[in-house]
Amino acid sequence: MSHAPSLIIPREALNLSGPSLQPPAGVQPQLDNPPNRNDVAVPVIVTCIVVSSVLILVRIYSKLISKEFHLRDSTGLAFKVFYWPCIYYNWCLTYTPGWMVHQWDISLKELIAYNHVTFVAMIFYTLMLASVKIAILLEFTAIFVPRGTRNYFFWISYLTIGVILVWNIIGLVFVNANCYPYKGNWDPFAVGRFCRFNMLQLGVASAAGNFVFDIVPLFLPQKIIWGLNASMDRKVGVSIIFLIGILGCTSALIRLVNSIQLLRSADTTYVYGIVGMCGLGEATCGILVLCVPFIPKAVTSTAQTRAFASLKSWTASFREPGSSRRGPTWPSGSSMKTRRQGVYHKFSKQPLATQSTPRTRQHDPTITRVTRISMTEEYNPDPGDIHNYYLRDLPSHDAVGTGSR
């Protein structure tokens, strides 16, 4: 976090147990038990862990019931790989030495450990945000772009993905090649330390880039959503689902503002606490954007599963001894289903009601029995076709500017 030239004073001559920043006039450093805001940071971290875990499980469940896995899912998997180490290092800050601790309450020795934790967390954070933004754009492309179509949505998404890749690769190279020796990235007192860039300036550039990359997937789907041939209520509902990213944009904007403040403030450890919590919130909002579109499919599948189990239990009661007084059933065996892509017809197995008693005289040319059959047609989209799930009311892709197949 610090940007300092190599020291002429030998490391052994430094008082590593003293405060790392001169306190304001009249303020006494509290190095043994520095006041912090762990009371805010810990609930934020725990909330992010719980929310992200539930949403990730929902997405995995949705993928399992659809039995369809795509290349874009590997990007989401990479995001999860980077997310949990970032959570771990953010948790480490609760005791090294705490969140939002004033730098004059941190000793030089603790500052080195603090810088090390934040440096590693920053690398995982960069990889995490890059992977989640790419995963979101790939997922939105699968939802809003028909297979085989190359329209404005497709090209903007992939152009943004390319820019994100180049931007973050350059950023990681700058960060890791910044200081010599390498430990100089977190140890401002490393012997012979020389740094090429100011890490705080790189942090501002990173925050600005992430804010821009958050805006693209936020507004890109809205034109297609509002062009749906659907009721206003449904348009608003679908639009809200894909506007959840506004929470991430808000976190990214707060992070950008505080990154600029971090560049101007000498009390870097305190301001960095705000930046770190905003970054964690931005990442969790990325999980929301990536996983929330799968919630309706998962909930619908669960409801159908419970309904089927209840129906099976109900019909089994008629097969128990003493329950033989019932009419014939149609069709025989399990329920009939004729499926095509996205649609099936379902015939319920129910006892047939007899309207009249059959006559015993076989030569009487009259109606001997009346049977009524009730048929219900249900529409269910193919659980693996998320494009149909959200856009099945779309009359034609040309009508909303998505191009033709």
pLDDT: which is higher, 148 or 115:
115
Q: What is the pTM of this model?
A: 0.70
Q: How do residues 83-113 score in pLDDT, each as one tens digit?
A: 899 999 999 999 888 999 999 999 998 999 9
Q: How do residues 218-227 score in pLDDT, each as one tens digit?
A: 888 888 888 8
Mean pLDDT of 229-250: 82
Alpha-carbon torsion, ordered 62, 64, 70, 73, to 10 deg: 60
3-17, 182-196, 245-259, 270-284, range with the lowest pLDDT: 3-17
Q: How do residues 165-191 score in pLDDT, each as one tens digit?
A: 999 999 999 999 999 999 999 998 888
Model confidence band, residue 402 (pLDDT cutoffs 50, 70, 90):
very low
Task: For residues 313 and 113, give the distance between their C-alpha atoms in angstroms, rounded to a whole number.
Answer: 61
CATH of domain 16-21+31-298: 1.20.1070
Which region, left, alpha or beta, applies to residue 272 given φ > 0 means left and ψ of -120 to 50 means alpha? alpha
Q: How do residues 365-379 score in pLDDT, each as one tens digit?
A: 545 565 666 665 544
Q: How far is CA 112 from CA 28, 103, 106, 306, 392, in A?
A: 21, 12, 10, 56, 56
5-9, 27-31, 150-154, 238-242, range with the lowest pLDDT: 5-9
Model confidence band, residue 2 (pLDDT cutoffs 50, 70, 90):
very low
Query: Of 120-129, 238-247, 283-292, 379-388, where does the model show the most confidence?
Result: 120-129
Task: For residues 251 and 285, give the distance between their C-alpha atoms in angstroms, rounded to a whole number.
Answer: 9
173-187, 266-280, 379-393, range with the lowest pLDDT: 379-393
39-43, 172-176, 336-340, range with the lowest pLDDT: 336-340
Q: What pLDDT, on the 0 to 100 scale, is given for residue 326?
A: 47
Rounded to a whole number of angstroms, the distance between the first and last alpha carbons of the chain is: 52
Q: Is 342's pLDDT higher than 50?
A: no
Task: For residues 13 and 20, give the distance between their C-alpha atoms in angstroms, rounded to a whole number.
Answer: 15
Q: What pLDDT, on the 0 to 100 scale, is given for residue 211?
A: 93
Model confidence band, residue 353 (pLDDT cutoffs 50, 70, 90):
low
Contacts (Cβ under 8 Å, ≥6 apart) of 193: 4, 5, 6, 7, 179, 180, 181, 184, 187
Mean pLDDT of 27-52: 92
What percent of the chain shows pLDDT beyond 90?
36
| Residue matched to tokens 């419970």 | 306
Task: For residues 393 and 342, give the distance between their C-alpha atoms in angstroms, rounded to a whole number.
Answer: 13
Give which of 393, 392, 386 is closest to 298, Cα–Cα: 386
